Amino acid sequence: MKNRTSLTYKDHFHIPHGELQKILNIALSRGGDFSEVFLEYKTYNLINMEEDIIKETAESISLGLGVRVLSGEKTGYGYTNDLSFEKIKKAALTAASIASDRTIRNASPLSSTPIHHNFYPVKRPIHKEKLERKITLVKKAYLSAQNFNPKIKKVKASFIDQIQHILIVNSEGLVASDVRPLVKLVCVAIGEKEGKREAGFSGGGGRIGMEYFVDLLTPEEIGREAAMEALNLLDAVEPPAGEMPVVLSPGHSGVLVHEAVGHLLEADFNRKKTSIFWDKMGKKVAASQVTIFDDPTIPYFRGSYNIDDEGTAPKKTLLIEKGTMTGMLQDRLSAKLMDKELTGHGRRQDYASIPIPRMSNTYIDKGEYTPEEIIKSVKRGFYASKYQGGQVEDSGKFTFSVSSGFLIEEGKITAPVKQATLIGTNIGVLKSIEMVGSDLEFGLQTGTCGKEGQEIPVADGCPTVKISRMTVGGLK
């Protein structure tokens, strides 16, 4: 990093507009509808604490550029991490090879349109903080978990921060750039009791500054929460098995919305008709209490961005309104082929990846019941509180691994339960949502979503939700 005070793309990419314009034209030299250059410079820092010592630190630099050409439904893509004009030209020619048209068009002249919003208005940028201060955060989280209870036998804490500079130019004349911070502090605590071991996890972060760890979530709270989960699990009983009413905890259960609904409303799966939702626009797909948004504009959130990875300003997108499917998440290619408006959901892992429709911050909007009313309504059921992850198929079948939950007996939350699995089909579950709580919360700001091998940061949320029946997998 040569110049920390003025972090514009020019400091990192050293490529004048005129040259980028040339590359866009080379990319269109065999025809095609659209060409684009995506430049990325990302630095990443990691601190690991384990066995009471700061065990290692790491620093990574990722610098590179991807050239994309769209020709009808086809995409040509070349990338390079050598930013010499010759190598960029080669990447452009690779991308160009997808097209073979008689008429060749030229790229429009480039003109910057400044953006007037900033969804990460941080006060103390983390990439400018000294390593020592980040180490202090890790130590605080670590010690807080370790000292919480003598049954905590082992702790791991990590701090990861990165800053990503991107510049996008395309043949429509667009020039757009963004500088995105991303931070997380995570802690794993392992408890032991009578030879039994269980792990608890917690963390926090987002596109935030150092002030977050003072004002919003302290490292001590993160450590404590990881320890508490481990202790809870030590007393946990085996999960029940079979069909039963399931209550989803607020916040963490957002992963269910993400997996069971969000993915299948990504436009590419609907354009290709592989998603179960492809013919359901305007139709009832969920109980009428259910309203679902994807919103990339929530300040400081992990899934937020000022522009998407195609340079489009993002929009809060209504996916399901009172049970009816109303929207999808679009990228340029799908929006064009489906003749729809852009929503600003074209995202990519890095310069070596083709952008595809992705979620940002996805959530079920709040409903009318108090969480107490919801739990009280269940005679015997399962309360899912935290998850290890989830997965969905285009056919709508999904599973969630519940790392910790509780039994509900006679309208009350009782014994802690470990390692259960929820399974179902998305429309089946959406239609059996019986009650939606008024307590909308978001899960830990540590989540990553994988699709077609590309990992991107996301967030999700929901209020307390009751599903009338769902299959719970367990041992009993």
Cβ proximity to other proteins: between 314 and 405 the closer is: 405
Q: How far is the CB of 474 from other proteins (least distance, A)?
A: 6
Got the DSSP string for 156-182?
EEEEEEEEEEEEEEETTSEEEEEEEEE
- Count CB neighbours of 403 within 10 A: 22
Q: What is the DSSP letter of 238?
A: P
Q: In the complex with other proteins, which residue's Cβ is closer, 134 or 315? A: 134
Dihedral, CA atoms, 400, 406, 412, 415, nearest 10 degrees? 160
Tell me how far, at minimum, the Cβ of 84 lies from other proteins, in Å: 10
C-alpha span between 142 and 158 (Å, rounded): 9
- Per-residue CA distances from 135 to 58, 97, 331 (Å): 12, 49, 39
Q: CA gyration radius for the chain?
A: 24
Question: What is the CB-side half-sphere exposure of residue 421 using CA atoms within 13 A?
Answer: 10
- Nearer of residues 120 and 382 to other proteins, judged by Cβ: 382
- Closest approach, Cβ 431 to other proteins, in A, equals 12
Closest distance of CB 268 from other proteins, Å = 10
Q: Which is nearer to other proteins, 304 or 349 (CB)?
A: 349
Task: Report yes or no: 223 and 145 within 8 Å, Cβ to Cβ.
Answer: yes
- Judged by beta carbon, residue 122 or residue 137, the one nearer other proteins is 137
Smaller CB distance to other proteins: residue 216 or 475?
Answer: 475
Identity of the residue, 96 or 122, whose beta carbon is nearer to other proteins in the bound complex: 96
State in angstroms the smallest separation of the CB of 5 from other proteins.
Answer: 18
User: Closest CB to other proteins among 63 and 179?
Assistant: 63
Q: Which is nearer to other proteins, 427 or 458 (CB)?
A: 427
Q: How far is CA 386 from CA 103, 126, 174, 266, in A?
A: 56, 28, 42, 25
Tokens of 259: 């997996």
Q: Which amino acid is at 60?
A: S
Q: How far is the CB of 194 from other proteins (least distance, A)?
A: 13
Q: How far is the C-alpha of 404 from the C-alpha of 387, rounded, in Å?
A: 7
- Tell me which residue of 220, 292, 226, 260 sits closest to 444, measured CA to CA: 226
Nearer to other proteins, 122 or 456 (CB): 456
Residue 355 and residue 310: Cα distance in Å, rounded?
Answer: 7
CB of 31 to other proteins, least distance (A): 14
Tell me phi and psi for residue 62, to 5 degrees: -125, 120
Q: Is 17 helix (H, G, I), strand (E, B) or coil?
A: helix
DSSP 128: G
Residue 439 C-beta: closest distance to other proteins, Å: 26
Q: How far is the CB of 210 from other proteins (least distance, A)?
A: 17
d(CA 330, CA 163): 25
Q: In whole angstroms, what is the distance from residue 461 CA to residue 293 CA?
A: 10
Pick between residue 172 and residue 393 the one whose CB is nearest to other proteins: 393
Provide the minimum distance between the beta carbon of 342 and other proteins in the complex, in angstroms, as a whole number.
20
Tell me the DSSP string of 244-270: EEEEEPTBTTHHHHIIIIIGGGBHHHH
Select 117 or 273, whichever has its Cβ closest to other proteins: 273
Distance in Å, CB of 176 to other proteins, minimum: 22
Phi, psi of 416 (to 5 degrees): -70, 145
Residue 91 φ/ψ, nearest 5 degrees: -60, -40
- Torsion sign across C-alpha atoms 80, 84, 85, 86: negative
* Minimal distance, residue 388 CB to other proteins, in Å: 4
Torsion of CA 45, 50, 56, 58, to 10 degrees: -20
Closest CA to 415 of 427, 407, 423: 407
